[in-house]
Amino acid sequence: MDRDFLLEQLGQTDSKSSNRPVRKKVKVKKQKPLWREYVEVVVISLAAAIFLRLLVVSAYRVDSSSMEQSLYEGDYIFVNKLAYKFGTPTNGDIIVFDYPLDPKKEYIKRVIAGPGQTVEIIDKVIYIDNMLAEIVPNAVNYDPKIMPAQLSMRDNFGPITVPPDQYFVLGDNRDFSQDSRDWGFVPENNIRGKALFVYWSWEPDGSSPNWSFPYIHSVFQMGFYFLTNFPSKTRWDRLFTAL
């Protein structure tokens, strides 16, 4: 083997090879295939979505009218799951929680009173600790009729004191809501998060197609229904409505 070549390998030279240029190997980075880049983007996006879904926010669909005028049936909302990890609900918050009588179901209502506060309803007017409660403007829907306490707790209720670690909640569609007047308080451990905003809203339609066997047929029916009714059934004025 040539002696000069050995000296170059060791980074040395002698008088005969002092003027010879040192050869360096240049590593060429291999470019990723395009399909691999797409796969990585999809995987990262899915991982981020799963992380957000499990720990930060959840998406829900409102399927009743108990929260009108704030939320309508067919509203799709985002709920902040971290809102009460380092704090507690305040009066006026709209919360999602496990229904105390059946934890498999999830309800959405407005917090009216917290632990230690006394609630009383007199002819539809709410009092907290003997003071007139602050109500969110234009958020509550009422039936003008007032029912006596002997017939119903709808319009006259209490007074009652909220126990520790419990919350008293009502629906904004006050006279057409099953809430703490009917089934009691919401334990703090049942609360899943705070409603943030409406990100989509679809007007309910009794004539819309439903899932039925064979399900492949239903997919085409529902896809066609969505495409043809998208402009008219979307409640555009409710999109991104803060709660």
Of 65, 70, 81, 109, the catalytic one is 109
Q: Which residue has the tokens 């240029």?
A: 21
Q: Is 66 a catalytic residue?
A: yes
Cα separations (Å) of 1 from 4, 5, 6, 16, 147? 9, 8, 8, 16, 109
Q: Return phi, psi of residue 188, to 5°.
A: -60, -35
Known catalytic membership, residue 109? yes
Single-letter residue type at 118: T
Task: List, by residue number, the catalytic residues.
Answer: 66, 109
